[in-house]
């Protein structure tokens, strides 16, 4: 790959640029796909973003796009563009493991709605990428198949649980990625990998075919290296789905038009007082402060806003999410699909279930199942799960009150930059704090996005600016993010394109 400059150029292009070049006949979808498969071959042994690469599937999809173009058929805005798919979206032609031994090698009998929409749009799925097991984690270290590495510094985490998706995009293995956000699992890895990631309004993107962690929180969303690319993918993957009972029957907000607008003149921006200060890395706060000043210089009206119950979001989340996971993961019993241990003809069904779960689930998944089961148990439901849901209501009211005063809220996306692999592995509370800023939007269901706002001066690693908007006002996110991106020239070169960094060298 090092000697093929044309293919290197293709992997460095934006998704919008690639789609335009394919539609114009300047390159082919097959050539673009091969370039990215070559990139995966060159660097993924070090990044370890992919669990399953599917060259035959990808090239077949690319050839179909080229055939449509040759026949004069209109192509969609992302036709022929490669994508990395988080390994909890079901796919009929690739395994779906959820980063867990309990589903090692399992193939689903149907495509998730998001998978199907991507295919219909001509998006080329390169394969399935790594994640924290069943999306439970903030570093992608909880995967049963080993950790993914942050392309900016291979000794550090890429965030989680969508760390494979974020690392693949940041490493130029794919221009687009799909993740899910339950407590920050799109925005947090996007921030620490220096890319853009969006949690749409809950119900704005379909959960059908997404292996559930916490059903009232899980939200599929897009990741990309630019705001416009993220908006294009947001629009392609979203919309009402009758197969998902929580899907909102409303038009997709005009996110692409907003991303092209890049104007915040007169926009009211609220800085959340509770999301900053003590415990936050100085370099993160420095870049966040500069981003706020930048918005003000671009014509936004900036004020400080208090959301007093955000301080209780983290403990409330770690009662609600485990409670829902303890229910959802009961289906993995060794009886119907996936791993089965101890079925020698003498063991009872209960013994097979126990042995299968002991062997198939990792430590973090077991921890959350036990927490959730306890919180839902007789005598404790009202004291724990019930109280957490009351806090959730108060957090939603905080958002409602804030959005009466301002159009969007902003905060750092994460309290720190990417931390070293292994640093927090034995300290669950320290790990959970990585999602301190992102959890409130998941509990309330409103839209939120992370956009790069520079490198922290104390360690040179990416920092994310989080933008939060009301329910179904997802377009406001892109209006702010595009303005920040344009002002900061976020499309400048990335260290991974410099072969002197050593990535991909033998």
* pLDDT value for 6: 62
* pLDDT value for 490: 43
Domain 5-308+397-498, classified CATH 3.30.750.24, yes or no: no
Mean pLDDT for all residues in the chain: 94
* pLDDT value for 492: 52
Cβ neighbourhood burial of 482 (10 Å; 0-12, 13-18, 19+): buried
Ordered DSSP codes for 451-486: EEEEE-TTT--EEEEEEEE-TT-HHHHHHHHHHHHH
pLDDT of 364 over the 60 cut: yes
- Which are the catalytic amino acids? 86, 161, 185
How far apart CA 371 and CA 434 sit, in angstroms, is: 19
How far apart CA 266 and CA 333 sit, in angstroms, is: 55
pLDDT of 500 over the 90 cut: no
- Reported as a single tens digit per residue, the pLDDT across 67-82 is 999 999 999 999 999 9
- Reported as a single tens digit per residue, the pLDDT across 22-32 is 999 999 999 99
pLDDT of 423 over the 90 cut: yes
* pLDDT value for 7: 65
* pLDDT value for 347: 86
Q: Is the whole model's pTM more than 0.85, yes or no?
A: yes
Domain spans of the chain, in order of start: 5-308+397-498
pLDDT band at residue 444 under the 50/70/90 scheme = very high
Query: Which of 41-45, 169-173, 499-503 is predicted with the least confidence, judged by mean pLDDT?
Result: 499-503
pLDDT band at residue 378 under the 50/70/90 scheme = confident
* pLDDT value for 197: 98
pLDDT of 489 over the 60 cut: yes
- Reported as a single tens digit per residue, the pLDDT across 281-335 is 999 999 999 999 999 999 999 999 999 999 999 999 999 999 999 999 999 988 8
% pLDDT > 70, the chain: 95
- Reported as a single tens digit per residue, the pLDDT across 12-22 is 999 999 999 99
pLDDT of 372 over the 60 cut: yes
Q: Which residues contact 32 (CB under 8 A, 6 or more apart)?
A: 10, 18, 21, 22, 62, 80, 81, 82, 124
């Amino acid at each position: 790959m090092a000697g093929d400059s044309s293919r290197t150029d293709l992997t460095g292009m934006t998704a919008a640029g690639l789609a335009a070049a394919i539609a114009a006949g300047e390159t082919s979808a097959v050539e673009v796909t091969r370039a990215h498969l070559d990139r995966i071959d060159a660097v993924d042994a070090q990044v370890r973003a992919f669990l399953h690469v599917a060259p035959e599937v990808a090239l077949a999809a690319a050839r179909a796009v080229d055939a449509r173009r040759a026949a004069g058929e209109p192509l969609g805005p992302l036709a022929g563009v490669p994508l990395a798919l988080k390994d909890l979206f079901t796919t009929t032609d690739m395994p779906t493991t959820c980063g867990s031994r309990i589903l090692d090698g399992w193939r689903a009998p149907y495509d998730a709605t998001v998978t199907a929409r991507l295919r219909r749009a001509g998006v080329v799925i390169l394969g399935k990428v790594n994640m924290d097991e069943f999306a439970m984690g903030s570093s992608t270290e909880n995967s049963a198949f080993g950790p993914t590495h942050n392309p900016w510094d291979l000794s550090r985490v890429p965030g989680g649980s969508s760390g494979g998706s974020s690392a693949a995009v940041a490493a130029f293995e794919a221009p687009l990625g799909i993740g899910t956000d339950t407590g920050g699992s799109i925005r947090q890895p996007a921030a620490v990998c220096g890319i853009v990631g969006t949690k749409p309004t809950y119900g704005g993107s379909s959960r059908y075919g997404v292996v559930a962690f916490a059903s009232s929180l899980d939200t599929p969303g897009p990741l990309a290296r630019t705001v416009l690319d993220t908006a294009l993918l947001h629009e392609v993957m979203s919309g009402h789905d009758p197969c998902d009972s929580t899907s909102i029957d409303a038009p997709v907000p005009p996110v692409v038009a907003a991303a092209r607008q890049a104007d915040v003149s007169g926009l009211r921006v609220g800085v959340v007082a509770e999301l900053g200060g003590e415990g936050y890395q100085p370099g993160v706060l420095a870049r966040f402060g500069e981003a706020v000043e930048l918005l003000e210089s671009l014509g936004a009206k900036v004020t400080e806003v208090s959301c007093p119950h955000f301080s209780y979001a983290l403990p409330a989340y770690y009662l609600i999410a485990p409670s829902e996971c303890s229910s959802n993961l009961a289906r993995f019993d060794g009886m119907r699909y996936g791993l089965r241990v101890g079925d020698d003809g003498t063991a009872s069904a209960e013994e097979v279930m126990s042995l299968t779960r002991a062997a198939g689930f990792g430590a973090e998944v077991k921890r959350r199942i036990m927490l959730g089961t306890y919180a839902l148990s007789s005598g404790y439901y009202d004291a724990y799960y019930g109280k957490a849901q009351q806090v959730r209501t108060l957090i939603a009211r905080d958002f409602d009150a804030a959005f009466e005063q301002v159009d969007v809220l902003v905060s750092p996306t994460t309290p720190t930059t990417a931390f070293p692999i292994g640093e927090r592995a034995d300290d669950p509370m320290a790990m959970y704090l990585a999602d301190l800023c992102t959890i409130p939007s998941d509990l309330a269901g409103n839209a939120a996005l992370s956009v790069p706002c520079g490198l922290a001066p104390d360690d040179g690693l990416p920092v994310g600016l989080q933008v939060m908007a009301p329910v179904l006002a997802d377009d406001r996110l892109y209006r702010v993010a595009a303005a920040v991106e344009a002002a900061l020239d976020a499309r400048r070169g990335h260290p991974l394109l410099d072969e002197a960094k050593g990535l991909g060298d033998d």
